[in-house]
Amino acid sequence: MEKEELSLEKVKYTRRRFFILGATAVAGVALAGIVGGGLIAFFFPPKRFRKKIGGWQKVKPASECPEGMAVTSSYFGIPVFILREGGKVKAFSAVCPHLGCIVKWDPERKVFPCPCHDSFFTSQGLVQKGPARPYNLLPFEAKEEEGMVLVSLPAPEKLKPYPSWFRFAMQYGG
């Protein structure tokens, strides 16, 4: 048996084939750029997204925080609950440390239920049941000054017991 050599004369190039190959190559390069750019941005976020947050921030007028009620606010994009009990102001992250769902406040039972996976947290932020165990709601530092409620992210060592995705979200904003 003789081997037949492939030569350019036997490959028929038409204008249609040329445009199909060209369009496929352009689409492949574009797709690779989109996927590659997304991966690079994910693993190496721009500096503006890596800016650490922290310090005291005014989040709510004290008059909007009635006794026994939890009101929501935002701390650098992180949803927080402000709760006044016994004349003291407390603040908790509204982000469930299990998978990041936003907890609600149930004023009748005085608990923070997670609507996603049936976890419950007390008014002290302590987990009572559900898959969020062993993580409690993250307590923020809270104080009242000049008629305003101010909150601050806790020290980094208080974040260590939480999952890495949660620590990242708390340190770099939600």
CATH topology of domain 57-172: Rieske Iron-sulfur Protein (2.102.10)
Domain ranges of the chain: 57-172
pLDDT digits (tens, 9 = 90+) for 159-173: 888 888 888 888 776
Residues 60, 78: Cα–Cα separation, whole Å:
14
Closest by CA to 134, choosing from 87, 174, 98, 171, is: 98
Residues 151, 60: Cα–Cα separation, whole Å:
9
Residues 23, 69: Cα–Cα separation, whole Å:
61
Residue type, 152: S
Task: Give 15 or 108, the one with higher predicted confidence.
Answer: 108
* Of the candidate ranges 14-28, 30-44, 137-151, the one whose mean pLDDT is the lowest: 30-44
Residue 3 phi/psi, 5-degree rounding, is -85, 135
- In this prediction the pTM is 0.66
Residue with token string 């149930």:
106
pLDDT value, residue 118:
85
